[in-house]
């Protein structure tokens, strides 16, 4: 059996589920936010085989039968409405969260990408170091909360600034996205803004377009995104409402494709989404690697067979 650990709203998981159904491969979709609706039990003397999740009117999910697993967008289990007091809700949420983490960690060795490997791969300073080590061109970079070297770097060349963490923060009505921001040589740097928190500062690469690379095992799928057609998207193609940005298949040089695979493996991953730019100088520059990045929109627009490659990998793991 193949496990999909995700949430109800994850469209990307729908792609994988449909492909598993098409191949008539047994799978269980665990929408983790609903875990509190189930009866969960664990017998430590059985190790991983001791986990069982039972939903009403469904066949039990016995971890002993899981041969491969794909972790997509798990969410914290929701607390039952029967819990009234806020302090009790917080306690129950903590207990369910810890139980979920423990259960998922027990599947180490069965994952397309393990939770531990993905967590370690989110380390952006390490990403840039390993990308350099495998031979990628990386823009000149400074990570700091010291305003003086930031001023010096910006005074020499146009730079971009971005966060070390995910660009998405907050929740609900307070959810915000921090987009990559351009800093011109003429910009005045606010000392206080820099010193309150570290940031990533890079020399901006004049580019032809952005490239999203999806790596699945030893297979590489590259799509170029025509970000330079609009002022709004030329620094960060995700910004604004330009859903009409042209996407095209891109043929990466074999040396760049090999570096993408090598970097993915160096993090202990079988899947990654890598952001590159093709500079006006004809060189490919590494920006970042996402161990659980989106890819369904690319497959839908360009017909790249990423879903099939992911299911192939899951089948290989299960053998």
CATH number for the domain that contains residue 100: 3.40.50
Do 103 and 121 belong together in one domain? no
Do 183 and 212 belong together in one domain? no
Do 100 and 130 belong together in one domain? no
Report the pLDDT value the prediction gives residue 170, as an integer from 0 to 100. Answer: 45
Name, in order, each residue with C-beta under 8 angstroms of 172's C-beta and a sequence gap of 6 or more.
none
Nearest alpha-carbon partner for 133 in 265, 252, 221, 224: 265
SS3 annotation, 151-220: HHHHHHCCEEEECCCCCEECCHHHCEECCCEEECCCCCCCHHHHHCCCEEEEECCCEEEEEEEEEECCEE
Report the pLDDT value the prediction gives residue 187, as an integer from 0 to 100. Answer: 64
Report the pLDDT value the prediction gives residue 175, as an integer from 0 to 100. Answer: 47
Structural domain total, the chain:
3
CA quadruple 20, 25, 26, 27: dihedral sign:
negative
Residue 319 maps to a domain: no
Task: Report yes or no: 40 and 52 within 8 Å, Cβ to Cβ.
Answer: yes
SS3 annotation, the chain: CEEEEECCCCHHHHHHHHHHHHCCCCEEEEEHHHHHHCEEEECHHHHHHHEEEECCCCCCEEHHHCCEEEECCCCCCCCCCCCCCHHHHHHHHHHHHHHHHHHHHCCCCCECCCHHHHHHHCCHHHHHHHHHHCCCECCCEEEECCHHHHHHHHHHCCEEEECCCCCEECCHHHCEECCCEEECCCCCCCHHHHHCCCEEEEECCCEEEEEEEEEECCEEEEEEECHHHCCCCCCCCCCCCCCCCCEEECCCCHHHHHHHHHHHHHCCCCEEEEEEEEECCCCEEEEEEECCCCCHHHHHHHCCCHHHHHHHHHHHHHC
Six-digit token pair at 177?
């996205």
Residue 222 maps to a domain: yes
Do 79 and 163 belong together in one domain? no
Report the pLDDT value the prediction gives residue 193, as an integer from 0 to 100. Answer: 77
Residue 215 maps to a domain: yes
Residue 314 maps to a domain: no
Per the listing, tokens 């940031």 go with 199
Do 123 and 248 belong together in one domain? yes
Residue 311 maps to a domain: no
Report the pLDDT value the prediction gives residue 176, as an integer from 0 to 100. Answer: 55
Domain end among 111, 126, 151: 111
Domain region containing 98: 2-111
Residue 78 maps to a domain: yes
Residue 312 maps to a domain: no
Residue 27: count of CB within 10 angstroms of its CB: 21
Do 263 and 288 belong together in one domain? yes
Do 131 and 89 belong together in one domain? no
Per run of 10 residues, the mean pLDDT along the chain (length 319 residues) is 96 97 98 95 94 94 97 93 89 95 95 96 97 97 91 89 70 58 73 84 95 98 93 79 84 97 98 98 97 95 97 96
Domain containing 249 — which CATH number? 3.30.470.20
Residue 317 maps to a domain: no
Six-digit token pair at 306?
């990423």
């Amino acid at each position: 059996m193949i496990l999909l650990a995700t949430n109800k709203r994850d469209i990307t998981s729908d792609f994988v589920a449909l492909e598993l159904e098409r191949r008539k491969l047994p799978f269980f979709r665990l929408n983790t936010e609903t875990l509190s609706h189930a009866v969960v039990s664990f017998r430590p003397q059985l190790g991983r085989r001791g986990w069982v999740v039972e939903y009403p009117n469904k066949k039990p999910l016995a971890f002993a039968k899981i041969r491969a697993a794909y972790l997509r967008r798990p969410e914290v289990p929701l607390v039952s409405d029967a819990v009234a007091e806020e302090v009790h809700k917080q306690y129950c949420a903590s207990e369910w969260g810890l139980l979920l983490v423990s259960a998922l960690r027990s599947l180490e060795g069965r994952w397309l990408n393990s939770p531990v490997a993905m967590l370690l791969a989110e380390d952006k300073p390490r990403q840039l170091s390993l990308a350099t080590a495998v031979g990628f061109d990386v823009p000149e970079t400074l990570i700091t909360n010291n305003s003086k070297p930031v001023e010096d770097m910006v005074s020499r060349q146009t730079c971009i600034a971005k966060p070390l963490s995910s660009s998405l923060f907050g929740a609900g009505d307070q959810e915000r996205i921090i987009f990559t921001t351009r800093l011109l040589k003429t910009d005045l740097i606010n000392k206080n803004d820099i010193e309150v928190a570290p940031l990533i500062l890079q020399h901006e690469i004049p580019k032809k377009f952005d490239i999203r690379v999806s790596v699945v095992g030893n297979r590489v799928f590259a799509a170029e995104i025509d970000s330079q057609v609009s002022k709004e998207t030329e620094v960060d193609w995700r910004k604004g409402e330009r859903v009409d940005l042209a996407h095209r298949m891109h043929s990466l040089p074999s040396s760049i494709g090999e570096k993408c695979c090598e970097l993915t493996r160096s993090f202990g991953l079988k899947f990654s989404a890598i952001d590159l730019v093709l500079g006006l100088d004809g060189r490919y520059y590494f920006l970042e690697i996402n161990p659980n990045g989106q890819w369904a929109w690319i497959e839908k627009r360009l017909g790249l067979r990423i879903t099939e490659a992911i299911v192939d990998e899951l089948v290989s793991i299960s053998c």
